[in-house]
Structure 1
């Protein structure tokens, strides 16, 4: 069940918990084994420093009524993979927080929308170094697909730009501009659930 990661704390506009004295609390991630069992916690940045520590994450793929995928360009101020395009939303549950709850929470925090028909789409484990920053994504990633039935209202601290794309538009964009190192891995892993949601005519 979801738990509150920091007691007696508020949240800053970008979703990072702030302590009651105004200073930032360390953001902890849930470390897991190769089967996805929780084995501990680690501070967020340290978990991503090479060679990386395997931790729990989530990726969300939302579609409109025409079967187009909502993708985002990550804000330039983000410390990890700034300015690149990626899936609708991705992030990390707080320790003890259910991935489903974290996915819905973070999608609303970043994009100002609450997913509809959000459903689990399996898991994928990967190891993706980021050449630009030297950080490493060692993640056990929970995948979710659903619908975006309201216009996005992105938080500019998190999201630089959003767009809905068809499969062909995504292919063209992926060839022309940088995407996150993990994007194709999570998209390919989620495709069976995406096809179930959008139907064979969607082309995914």
Structure 2
């Protein structure tokens, strides 16, 4: 099956969320309520309360059995560390297409290029992170696709991975911490997920 390009794989440290003490400043693209670009801001500054609305993306990848790939965020993340979330999420560089950014970060974090990656709409939300006090004010571009190669997670980004059915996800969500934005982006992506996996997948 065709795969999307994972660009800038040799620049993974530039997109890292890990707190290694050496990462350069990362700039995000600020947007208005319609998703139009209005400027840029440094990553941490954009997330400090009350937050600045910025462009982001979320990826949901499934295996051939229709199971969703989850990741548990590494403990060194600057916020939402150690919690479960969707396959991959992050921020495009200023001027970078969200589709390109989604493919790039999936490869950087998990070591695989997503197959059949497709747009799944957008969602705008405001989610404070109670642990860090940071705020996710995001205009989020959603993508769904398949994973058809062995994972090679970057331990600075990903603490653990799991493939789950819809039922297993609900059980895990009830018993383990998840990112504040997870259910918002999952619910917004459900129509595209059902189209990809079929109604029998239970999504």
Partner of 1:177 in structure 2? 176
Cα separation, partners in 2 of 1:176 and 1:43, compared to 1, 3 Å: same
Any idea what SS the aligned residue of 2:55 has? strand
Partner of 2:110 in structure 1? 111
Q: How do 1:21-36 and structure 2 match up within 5 A?
A: 24-36=23-35
Count of paired positions:
192
Normalising by structure 1, report the TM-score: 0.91
> Which sections of structure 2, spanning at least 5 residues, go unmatched?
1-6, 17-21
**CA distance in 2 between partners of 1:12 and 1:61 (Å):** 20
**CA distance in 2 between partners of 1:15 and 1:39 (Å):** 21
Partner of 1:152 in structure 2? 151
Cα separation, partners in 2 of 1:40 and 1:13, compared to 1, 3 Å: closer
**CA distance in 2 between partners of 1:12 and 1:144 (Å):** 20
Contact 1:58–1:143 (CA under 8 A) maintained in structure 2 = yes
Contact 1:14–1:158 (CA under 8 A) maintained in structure 2 = no
**CA distance in 2 between partners of 1:25 and 1:185 (Å):** 30
Matched, 1:11 2:11: yes
**CA distance in 2 between partners of 1:139 and 1:156 (Å):** 26
Once the two structures are superposed, residues 13-34 of structure 1 have per-residue CA deviations (whole angstroms, 9 ceiling, x without a partner) of 4744xxxxxx643200000000
**CA distance in 2 between partners of 1:83 and 1:95 (Å):** 27
**CA distance in 2 between partners of 1:177 and 1:160 (Å):** 14
Any idea what SS the aligned residue of 2:106 has? helix
> Which sections of structure 1, spanning at least 5 residues, go unmatched?
17-22
CA RMSD, Structure 1 to Structure 2 (Å) = 1.7
Contact 1:85–1:179 (CA under 8 A) maintained in structure 2 = yes
Any idea what SS the aligned residue of 1:161 has? strand
Cα separation, partners in 2 of 1:72 and 1:24, compared to 1, 3 Å: closer
